[in-house]
Structure 1
Amino acid sequence: MKKQIKNSSKILSFPSLILMLLLTPLNLSSQLNNEPIRLGVAGLSHDHVHWILGRQDQTDLKIVGIVEPNKELVARHAKHYGFSMDLVFDTLEEMIAETQPQAVAAFGSIYEHLAVVEACAPKGVHVMVEKPLAVSMDHAFKMKSLAEKYNIHLLTNYETSWYATNHKANEIVQAGKIGDLRKIVVHDGHKGPKEIGVSKEFLEWLTDPKLNGAGALTDFGCYGANLITWLTKGQKPEAVMALAQTFKPDTYPNVDDEATIILQFPKMQGIIQASWNWPFSRKDMEVYGSTGYVISENATEMTSKFKADKNKQKDTLNPLTNPYRDPFALLAAVINNEITLQDYDLPALANNMIVVEILEAAKESVRTGKWISLK
């Protein structure tokens, strides 16, 4: 990403800006457009919607409309967050016509992402979806075509995009401090969506292979594919091998709950471990190079060791600040032309096209038991 501050001739590269944010927390919101971005919300069945509904104290975005046909779900959220039922519409087309949003954030099933882009793109409305971008390459190609044809931003949100440790790890990698990349291992998972108590509406489509694309393989495998694509600056693996199993068939009869994806690069390996079976929730990453390693243990704690060091180093970082503290601050900054995404950046379309290609190859590998080459 590149960050350009208004009324300044200096352009900061993304790694430099991230380092500045880590070392000296700044409040950049005053540099954004004073008018809040008009945001529509498409769907309430994804539990990540609490992120935007609970963000009412921020002024960079304003929710102008909500689309959700499930009235029981709407009533439940309206009671909890106190939003007016006047904001709620039956269809996305109706909401766009009535409220004229600048952007729409999708919080329905992954399968529904295509329909959101189909409704928004021709009207010039930007879109941000929850991870992953799409359930298939067919959907992804259609979404990409529409975004390019109508010149809209199409972003994908991952929780791990907002981890200070991941940005610091990327800075270390790009600076060559650990040498040539040799192996990246990404772990993402928890006890399982039912076990951790997700909403019934979320669980219903999350465990549907059509609506979610797969089980844990999609739900958590996408994180590793996204991070590895970013760290390698958009390099696509030569081949993909995957193993997916269902250890709890009574709970998840239609989808996998355990998956391992291996990515083959010319001089590096990527290993993605996705699980709905782990005793504890975890989202961490290990990056190994020819002369050192860096491990993101969580959002703010990391461990590293370089060739010249006798001992490993442990660091606790400050959380990222505006406009990198959450997906909505970033969305506002992108729309306000404060940030230009590079193709391989975490929310960017080009990165997430590769993510979907990796996931689709992984599912084909599970089906055939073979390595799948990526063209």
Structure 2
Amino acid sequence: MIMPTPYLSVISLALLFVCAAPASAQERLKVAIAGLSHDHVHPLLNAHQRLEVDILGIAESDSQLASRYKERYQLPDSLFFHTVAEMLHAVRPDVVLAYNAIAEHVDVAEICLPLKIPLMVEKPLATTVEQARKIAKLAARYDTPVLTNYETTWYRSNHVLKQLVSEGNIGKLKKVVVRDGHQGPKEIGCSEAFLSWLTDPEKNGGGALMDFGCYGANLMTWLMDGQRPIAVTAVTRQLKPAVYPRVDDDATIILEYANGVTGVIQASWDWPYSIKDMQVYGDSASLHAVDPETLVRNQSVQRSVQLAVNSEYFSNHLTYLTAVLTAGEIPENDLSSLANNLVVVEILAAARESARQGKRVMLSDRP
């Protein structure tokens, strides 16, 4: 079993993984799955079929949903359990990966962390600040890591962008614009099991604001080296109330920082196509991470150049987990870290409150 040891830097983790890869290639990461209702579980099951990861157990209370996955991926009955507690009584994985409703992450943490089993959840960490802090207290009490997985964490363009910003490539950072979303979860064909909680204001905490606003909050917190914004202003809309009657489907969030930097997060289920990009503006140039492999630098509207995106950061959450759980703790402001994602949940909670009240919310005023 892979167990955590003292924390290392991102560079140290990356170098350790590169050096250790040949020796560890024979021992695949051993994971257990909490829930199957999140469609992001498919890449993990595909990795299992490619023999890139070992799955020791799957906890899913919906027997029909479990049967569908069992048939689709030709999984044996012995892998399936009704509850997480039952599963962890029978198997001891390196890490549990949660693919259930966001509001249920805290329930999984309450089972895993006292057993000192690391946990990675799909974004965001929690639906409320209270839930997030409860998870953090459990992680501290049992000295066991809790991580959050975002697709954009593995975009090489984002990592090169941050490095260039840190080096002063665009001068003093002024503004960041992050756009995330797609045509809508129903429109792109998300499963009924996924939609049942993704469009539930309690289980997901909201609609597009939570589903895609969390990406921008995560990236902004990372770019700002863990700094919390001083104020949050948000506007949410229901552009398709007949399709999503219970939650917002479009959100704009403005973050104000003490050093004068402004973050603008545009999250929507009403884009004409799928988009996950980030633009940063300094006093001398801008950078645009267009997609995972494309980064453009602009000196002006007319002067632009595409940059190489050579990054040693991990390609996916499985290579990351293998390195982290083998080598050590997560750097404090890492994109997957608990410290970063506690701030993310604070931002999302303030954004929901701002949209509800129709006014700017000061984070310093929140308990």
TM-score scaled to structure 2, two decimals? 0.92
- What residue identity is the alignment partner of 1:271? V
Per-residue CA deviations over 1:137-177 (Å, capped at 9, x if unaligned) read 00000000001100111000000000000000011011121
Match of 1:335 among 318, 325, 338: 325
Q: In 1, distance between residues paired with 2:84 and 2:264?
A: 39
Change (3 A) 1:190 1:28: farther
Alpha-carbon offset, residue 33 of structure 1: 7.3
Moved more, 57-66 or 96-105: 57-66
Change (3 A) 1:348 1:31: farther
Any conservation in 1 of the 2:9–2:331 contact (CA below 8 Å)?
Answer: no
Any conservation in 1 of the 2:200–2:206 contact (CA below 8 Å)?
Answer: yes
Change (3 A) 1:114 1:17: closer
Residue segments in structure 2 that go unaligned for 5+ positions in a row: 1-6
Q: In 1, distance between residues paired with 2:213 and 2:45?
A: 26
Per-residue CA deviations over 1:27-77 (Å, capped at 9, x if unaligned) read 863254753332110000000000111102566631100000111111111
Q: In 1, distance between residues paired with 2:230 and 2:115?
A: 38
Match of 1:96 among 77, 80, 88: 88
Any conservation in 1 of the 2:171–2:284 contact (CA below 8 Å)?
Answer: yes
Q: How many residues align?
A: 357
Residue segments in structure 1 that go unaligned for 5+ positions in a row: 1-10, 21-25
Per-residue CA deviations over 1:292-330 (Å, capped at 9, x if unaligned) read 2110000001101359x9832113536x67x71111221
Aligned to 1:347: 336
Aligned to 1:258: 250
Task: Provide the secondary structure at the position in 2 that maps to 1:112.
Answer: helix
Any conservation in 1 of the 2:354–2:360 contact (CA below 8 Å)?
Answer: yes
% same residue: 44
Q: Is 2:68 aligned against 1:76?
A: yes
Q: Is 2:297 aligned against 1:304?
A: yes
Change (3 A) 1:17 1:178: farther
Any conservation in 1 of the 2:57–2:87 contact (CA below 8 Å)?
Answer: yes
Per-residue CA deviations over 1:322-351 (Å, capped at 9, x if unaligned) read x711112211211111x5421111000000
Match of 2:279 among 286, 291, 299: 286
Q: In 1, distance between residues paired with 2:37 and 2:140?
A: 28
Aligned to 2:203: 211
Aligned to 1:47: 39
Alignment of 1:28-47 (within 5 A): 29-32=21-24, 34-47=26-39
Aligned to 1:359: 348
Moved more, 362-371 or 35-44: 35-44
